[in-house]
Structure 1
Amino acid sequence: MGLGLLPLGLALGVLITHAGLPWWCASLFTAVVYAGSFEFLLVNLALAAAPLAAVALAAFLVNVRHVFYALSFPLDRVRRRLGKAYGTFALTDEAYALTTGDRARSWSGARILWLQLFMHLYWVGGATTGVLLGSVVPDSVTGLDFAMTALFAVLALDTVRERHGDLPTPVLALLSALVARVVLPGQLLLSAFILFTATLLVRSRAASKKEPKEEPRA
């Protein structure tokens, strides 16, 4: 996963260079913000000198999914408060995907924190290297801003393969995105999240009704 984050960080650093922002923005964004998909968006927001309120709203819409991650992220294995604080801060899509799989059920809290720390270092190092080497990458190179989307697609495919019995969930996610794209294209992300959450609630309620009720014991 770290080797996958390294080229993504390089792509972000190159984008920051081509955008004309100072080189230290790459290190600052990746070390302090540490929200990959939002950092790609933050480059355009910084160029447009967007108001802080607009930046805060964009950050909320892009990262609100982390609220749902926290429900099943194994933070209870981390003992110290400082470790819990960093584990919460460094809860990324990649960290969640790795620590909630079947192979991670026996991982200790220390191993989870070290995993998050190394991914953080890969991200910061990749972006810093990318911004320093960005001047040698021609402006004609396209597709760098699609790097994060490609990573999400790979993570989604891996999850579907691992949980092959839960095919309706990604289908509902795809349908929610398509409906939001057609009905509310200007608010695609928020409307897709709301629609997907609503469909999951309906599905959960329907499944609970189908479960056989236990007969009272005599």
Structure 2
Amino acid sequence: MQAQPAPRTHPPGGKTAAFRAALPYTLPICVGFLFLGMSYGFLMRSQGFSVWYPLFMSMFIFAGSMEFVTANLLLLPTFQPLHAFLLTLMVNARHLFYGLSMLDKFKNLGWKKPYLIFGLCDETFSIHCAVTPPAGIDRGWFMFFVTILNQIYWVAGATLGSLLGYLIQFNTTGIEFVMTALFVVMFLTQWEENKDHRPALIGVGCTALCLVVLGSDHFLLPAMGLIILAFLALRKTFPQEVPQT
């Protein structure tokens, strides 16, 4: 009696299927990135930068809050590399923890892994953590398309905002306040989502102290360093998350 051939196992869905599965999860982010990116493009144009600056900065920096800060760094009378490096490290320090939590998810993804590391913004991280690719969808391609779609939305918004800055002429006085508004909204969101307000109060207190002592020109880096030291000193007093099983 002839042995029956083993049943064929179908490989995971291809790139098209992964793209279709990833797209719906990124559409809500698309709306926010387009409008916020446009405000960034308008800001860059109002400060005299050509369209190439927001285009390439959004492509190669791809860190929303840091891109707003970079606009001011580029306008300083003298460039201070150490200051820029430390400021970038502190503003985006949370990505160190994002990266650690993604080690297993990014394992064995070949050439996609470097780009997934580079493109790991807050919104992409949220999707990677909360969404499991549908059955039959290749995990690597799903994560790749989530990442690249989110970056495309940001690049498109920043570029469109800069181009509109050429076409739409209006008084841009005060538009630089968009960066302040961005951080205020982030602060209020964290305040509402967390019952323990000590981290927020520590941040406000350390910043206010350094501002009073050092002045508005030199308070930022010392304030962020003081915040980190305060968190390290009080880390055992903060509630620990219970691991889910």
Q: Deviations over 1:12-38 (max 9, x none)?
A: 222333333332222111111223233
Match of 2:93 in 1: 67
1:18 and 1:139 in contact (8 A); partners too? no
Q: Deviations over 1:113-144 (max 9, x none)?
A: 54432221111101111121112333413333
Counterpart mapping for 1:133-152 below 5 A: 133-152=164-183
Structure 1 residue 196, shift from structure 2 partner: 1.0
Percent of paired sites with the same residue: 27
Q: For residue 84 of structure 1, what is the amino acid of its counterpart?
A: K
Cα distance change on mapping 1:22 and 1:105 into 2, 3 Å: closer
The 10-residue stretch of structure 1 (80-89 or 124-133) with the greater mean CA deviation from structure 2? 80-89
Alignment of 1:184 with 2:184, yes or no, is no
Q: For residue 119 of structure 2, what is the amino acid of its counterpart?
A: A
Query: Could you say what the CA RMSD is over the residues aligned between the two structures, in angstroms?
Result: 3.0
| CA–CA separation in structure 1 for the residues paired with 2:168 and 2:222 | 37
Match of 1:156 in 2: 187
Match of 1:10 in 2: 38
| CA–CA separation in structure 2 for the residues paired with 1:3 and 1:78 | 27
Please say which structure displays the higher CA radius of gyration: 2
The 10-residue stretch of structure 1 (64-73 or 40-49) with the greater mean CA deviation from structure 2? 40-49
2:90 and 2:224 in contact (8 A); partners too? no
1:160 and 1:167 in contact (8 A); partners too? yes
Cα distance change on mapping 1:34 and 1:184 into 2, 3 Å: same
Match of 2:14 in 1: none
More helix by proportion, 1 or 2? Answer: 1
1:45 and 1:55 in contact (8 A); partners too? no
Structure 1 residue 4, shift from structure 2 partner: 1.8
Cα distance change on mapping 1:171 and 1:95 into 2, 3 Å: farther
Work out which of the residue numbers 119, 129, 152 in structure 1 matches 2:150. 119
Question: Could you list the runs of 5+ residues in structure 2 that have no partner in the other structure?
Answer: 1-28, 134-138, 240-245
Match of 1:216 in 2: none
| CA–CA separation in structure 1 for the residues paired with 2:180 and 2:121 | 14
Count of aligned positions:
201
Cα distance change on mapping 1:19 and 1:106 into 2, 3 Å: closer
Question: Could you list the runs of 5+ residues in structure 1 that have no partner in the other structure?
Answer: 209-218
Structure 1 residue 178, shift from structure 2 partner: 1.0
Match of 2:19 in 1: none
Match of 1:34 in 2: 62
| CA–CA separation in structure 1 for the residues paired with 2:73 and 2:40 | 14
Match of 2:112 in 1: 83
| TM-score of the two chains, using structure 1 as the length reference | 0.75
Cα distance change on mapping 1:192 and 1:82 into 2, 3 Å: farther
| CA–CA separation in structure 1 for the residues paired with 2:194 and 2:40 | 31
Match of 1:20 in 2: 48
Match of 1:173 in 2: 203
Cα distance change on mapping 1:155 and 1:94 into 2, 3 Å: farther
| TM-score of the two chains, using structure 2 as the length reference | 0.68
